[in-house]
Chain A
Amino acid sequence: MASERVAIVGIGQTEHRATNDGSIAGVVRQAASRALEDARMDWADIDAVVIGKAPDFFEGVMMPELYLADALGAVGKPMFRVHTAGSVGGSTALVAQDLVAAGLHERVLTVAFEKQSESEAMWALSVAMPFQPPMHAGAGGYFAPHIRSYIRRSGAPDHIGILVALKDRLNALKNPCAHLHEADITFDSVRDSIMLWDPIRFSETCPSSDGACAMVLTNERGGDAAAAEGRAPAWVKGTAFRSEPTMFAGRDQVNPRGGQECAADVYKQAGIDDPRADIDCVEMYVPFSWFEPMWLENLHFCPEGEGWKMVEDGVTQLDGDLPVDMSGGVLSSNPIGASGMLRFAEAAMQVRGQAGDHQVPDARTALGHAYGGGSQFFAMWIVGAQKP
């Protein structure tokens, strides 16, 4: 079915920090203003707004999009709220892109945010559910057994997680928006940090951040206009969502089928036969270090069981053959609702050549990836410098 080409012409984000002194409205406004400024647009230029965040419970403001309409210039315009747990920032961008691709709107502002300082997301993720044993362990306690299982299956050595954490935190030093800037981090300091949920150490886990991300998406005409003014857009080459039930008995939580099929779908749309060769860099959702090798396998960058070898060989370093999490990733900034969109935005920034000190030279094709819930929601897009 024919659809409009979609271009990303504006990207904005906050400096992600433990506490942002603004209100929730102030935080989303900051990211949205920066995206509009980058797109050379004003509020009146926007036709519709798509907003996402993780559960309302995280800040205790029910349906915050209603009161955020003023801050986002959405009064009198269509406004949509998206909700897919931690992957929501990615899913939100995909809903925005669908509105443009469908020809419904020409210019769509999409925004995602979280203010973790206003609550304690750890315990929000640990509330006892009816008819389920309470874990009271937070996200790390939930994912640690999946990582254990990965290590057992793949035979990966213990230091792989440390290498990922060190790499991401060093990348974050090149990103002024990153929350953690740990100039004195070393392999030994990560290794010696306290074990939180074996095998996840303190320095291998994401921080709690306040922050927001926003993008302006437009159609081919808008993308061409930006390009003509010397502001290269990122072109969307493929998009896909998948989800699967948390507690389905046959589910493989180490290498979820939803993620595999989502990746295969997005590659097919983008005309990618060999992701390892055809993709220049990847910004993936890695809240705990070990998810990098796990997702490398899930996303078909290597045969199953060999993701850890890519990490060990330095392939995913910023100067490696396939850089991963150039921005410092979720391991360095985690405003949960925004985290998925930050991955998508970093992919777009890379192909637009606007990633500053964490720019991958000549990045032409990039993958943005988000996952959420109990490794059950997946959202991905492939963006490129070339119009598809």
Chain B
Amino acid sequence: MAEEILEAPNVVEYPFSRTTGPVVGAFLTALREGFVVGIKAADGSVIVPPVEYDPFTAEALTEIVEVADAGEVVSWAWVAEPLADQPLDRPFAWALIKLDGADTPMVHAVDTGGDPAGISTGSRVVARWRPPKPAGSDEPGPGLAEDPNPPRAYREGHILDIECFVPEAS
């Protein structure tokens, strides 16, 4: 028998993949479709993003509910000098945003055009969505591409399917 030589690429890197499960999976799928969902907790409150198990009673949660893609800034921090791989390349805010219909705030970026005066606690913001992915598009997805944070042109089931939030009035 001829000697069989095993060959395998040995690129020393360490990629991860994630099995999201039924709840986080529902959240990411909704983002891809252009809307936001949360989950109803045992006490009737709506948690966004949704969690699989009730934070107080530990029971498995299953009731997915849609919430608005606009809401109120609960708290925020200004990023005067954005770093590479942050969602925006000009000064912006990280904010805790309580979406209409949700009882818990969610972290995301807010783009005020670079002006910190454009955001305040209690101000209203709305999601700026990326466009849906056209059929047949081969734009890179998140994950295993050589660039660990490839630019995302389209929605593909990722938290950055919402490019950022913007003040509601603008």
Residues of A at the B interface (CB closer than 8 Å) are: 19-26, 29, 43, 57, 59-60, 70-73, 75, 115, 117-120, 123-124, 126-128, 134, 136, 194, 196
Are B17's CB and A23's CB within 8 A? no
From the candidates B12, B13, B15, B17, name the one contacting A117 in the complex (CB within 8 A).
B17
Contact flags (1/0) for B38-54 with A, using CB distance below 8 Å? 00000000000001111
In contact, A20 and B14 (Cβ under 8 angstroms): no
Q: Is the CB of A23 within 8 A of B19?
A: yes
- How far apart sit A194 and B58, CA to CA, in the bound complex (Å)? 47
CB distance from B44 to the nearest CB of A (A): 17
Q: Tell me what chain B mostly uses at the interface: helix, strand, loop, or mixed.
A: loop
Q: Which residues of A contact B14 (CB under 8 A)?
A: 57, 60, 119-120, 123-124, 127
Q: Collect the chain B residues with CB atoms within 8 Å of residue A26's CB.
A: 21-22, 52
Residue of B nearest to A67 (CB): B51
Complex: chain B residue closest to A210, CB-CB? B19
- Report the minimum CB–CB distance from B40 to chain A (whole Å): 15
* B58 surroundings in chain A (CB, below 8 A): 43, 70-73, 75
Q: Which of B22, B24, B53, B56 gathers most chain A CB within 10 Å?
A: B53
Contact A21 B6 (CB under 8 A): no
Return the chain A residue nearest B17 by Cβ.
A118
CB pair A117 B54 closer than 8 Å: no
30 contacting pairs across A/B (C-beta < 8 A): A22-B19, A23-B20, A23-B23, A25-B21, A25-B52, A25-B53, A26-B52, A29-B52, A29-B53, A43-B58, A60-B16, A70-B54, A70-B55, A71-B52, A71-B53, A75-B55, A115-B19, A117-B19, A118-B17, A118-B18, A119-B14, A119-B15, A120-B15, A123-B12, A124-B14, A126-B12, A127-B12, A127-B14, A128-B12, A196-B6
Q: Verify A119–B21 contact, CB threshold 8 A.
A: no
Residues of chain B at the chain A interface (Cβ within 8 Å): 4, 6, 10, 12-24, 51-58, 60
Q: Which listed residue, B19, B51, B56, B57, touches A118 by the CB 8 Å rule?
A: B19
Cβ of A1 to closest chain B Cβ, rounded Å: 35
List 10 tightest A-B contacts by C-beta distance, closest first: A23-B21, A73-B58, A60-B16, A70-B53, A43-B58, A71-B53, A26-B21, A22-B21, A119-B16, A70-B55
Minimum CB–CB distance from A72 to chain B (whole Å) comes to 7
CB proximity of A193 to chain B, nearest CB, Å: 11
B52 to chain A: which residues have CB within 8 Å?
23, 25-26, 29, 70-71
Q: A196's closest neighbor in chain B, by CB?
A: B6
CB nearest to A46 among chain B residues: B58
Within the complex, the shortest CB–CB distance from B170 to chain A, in Å, comes to 35
Give the residues in chain B near A118, CB-CB below 8 Å: 16-19
Q: How far is the CA of A341 from the CA of B7 in the complex (A)?
A: 34
Closest to B55 in A: A70
Q: How far is the CB of B9 from chain A (nearest CB, A)?
A: 11
- How many Å lie between the Cα of A297 and that of B136 in the bound state? 60
